[in-house]
């Protein structure tokens, strides 16, 4: 970071380009286009895929609202789809129920770092001429059937938000093998200009630019890329720490009134981004929010990932959704609880989490 500041090149420049090259290699794609967030990555991917007014895009009902918001920003209509109650991912059969002649794309969200069954979803998309845009915000390391998720679909959007397995403070990346889409994405991310700042002011000399279309201010900076480069180099080391904490949690929580994260197929790799349990409310005297507050009082940071998209006022009111429309997502929304999962956790931290969860659930257990 200090070297970046001293270089005088703090915007989009050589380190951003290097981060793109190295991330493309790690993710298994030909092109990596850095952007300001995963939401920006989804938005631009939808535009590049031709999504606009009148088009529908299948989105999981159980995801962060950004997955659906990006469709709205592109001018399309997000069509929510229920998820499996154990994996929290969409499945091809359920997606098929929501297809119409207006469906243009599918956004599979690889929830918590678990791969969607893309080997089933891809043939469905191919039969109907649909674009798959992977929402891999949780899934940098994720693999399906021994391959990175970029091997399926057309575009994959990643997040480098502060809580993610790699962070650049804020930031995102789009990975694709399509040369034409990559070129358009590079134009769209920086005002629709024909050449970015690095190309215009590099050692090759000044070059004029032209505005090709009204693009966006979605570029990453070299300050962000400097963080990303160093974290990318350590990603497997950090992944091993999360894997160890995950195993400790599974062993410690096996007999508590909760549902552990579903096991992963031997052919898949889970990114271990979120450790999400489902509370067995029938065996507890308090609801999820009361238990979350009790853990907060024990100084344990928890999260709720997530309340279903259909339960938020904007989507509920605009599209007329009710909890019964997506029963699995509604069931998850009432019970889900995410416990601390980070490569920054020490052995003592993990022990504190285990002790507090055991104590709180014991207190509220019937």
Which residue in this structure is represented by tokens 């021994």?
146
Residues in the chain: 366
3-class SS of residue 211: strand
207 is an active site residue: no
The DSSP string of 12-47 is SSHHHHHHHHHHHHHHT-SEEEEES-HHHHHHHHHH
Which residue in this structure is represented by tokens 């390391």?
141
Annotated active-site residue in 164, 207, 217, 366: 164
**Nearest-angstrom CA–CA distance, 199 and 206:** 8
Within 10 Å of residue 79's Cβ, how many Cβ atoms?
Answer: 20
3-state secondary structure 133-193: EEEECCCCCCEECCEEHHHCCCEEEEECCCCCCCCCCCCEEEEECCHHHHHHHHHHCECCE
Question: What residues does 79 pair with on adjacent strands?
Answer: 58
> Which tokens in the block code for residue 60?
């999981």
Active site residues per annotation: 164
């Amino acid at each position: 970071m200090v070297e970046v500041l001293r270089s005088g090149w703090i915007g989009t420049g050589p380190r951003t380009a290097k981060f793109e090259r190295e991330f493309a290699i790690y993710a298994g794609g030909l092109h990596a286009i850095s952007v300001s967030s995963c939401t920006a990555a989804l938005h631009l991917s939808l535009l590049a895929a031709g999504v606009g007014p009148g088009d529908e895009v299948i989105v999981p009902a159980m995801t962060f609202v950004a997955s659906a918001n990006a469709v709205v920003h592109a001018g399309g209509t997000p069509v929510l789809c229920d998820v499996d109650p154990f994996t929290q991912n969409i499945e091809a059969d359920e997606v098929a129920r929501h297809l119409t002649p207006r469906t243009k794309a599918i956004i599979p969200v690889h929830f918590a770092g678990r791969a969607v069954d893309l080997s089933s979803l891809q043939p469905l998309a191919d039969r109907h001429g649909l674009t798959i845009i992977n929402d891999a915000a949780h899934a940098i390391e994720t693999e399906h059937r021994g391959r990175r998720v970029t091997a399926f679909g057309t575009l994959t959007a990643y997040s480098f938000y502060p809580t993610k397995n790699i962070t650049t403070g804020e930031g995102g990346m789009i990975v694709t093998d399509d040369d034409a889409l990559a070129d358009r994405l590079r134009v769209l991310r920086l005002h629709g200009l024909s050449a970015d700042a690095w190309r215009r002011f590099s050692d090759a000399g000044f070059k004029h630019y032209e505005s090709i279309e009204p693009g966006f201010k979605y570029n990453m900076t070299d300050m962000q890329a400097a963080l990303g480069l160093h974290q990318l180099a350590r990603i497997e080391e950090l992944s091993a720490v999360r894997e160890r904490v995950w195993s400790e949690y599974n062993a410690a929580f096996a007999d508590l009134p909760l549902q552990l994260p579903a096991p992963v197929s031997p052919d898949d790799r889970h990114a271990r981004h979120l450790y999400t349990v489902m509370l067995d409310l029938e065996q507890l005297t308090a609801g999820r929010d009361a238990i979350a507050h009790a853990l907060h009082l024990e100084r344990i940071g928890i999260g709720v990932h997530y309340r279903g998209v259909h339960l938020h006022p904007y989507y509920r009111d605009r599209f007329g959704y009710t909890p019964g429309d997506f029963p699995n997502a509604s069931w998850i929304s009432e019970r889900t609880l995410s416990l601390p999962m980070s490569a920054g956790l020490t052995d003592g931290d993990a022990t504190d989490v285990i002790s507090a969860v055991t104590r709180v659930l014991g207190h509220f257990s019937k």
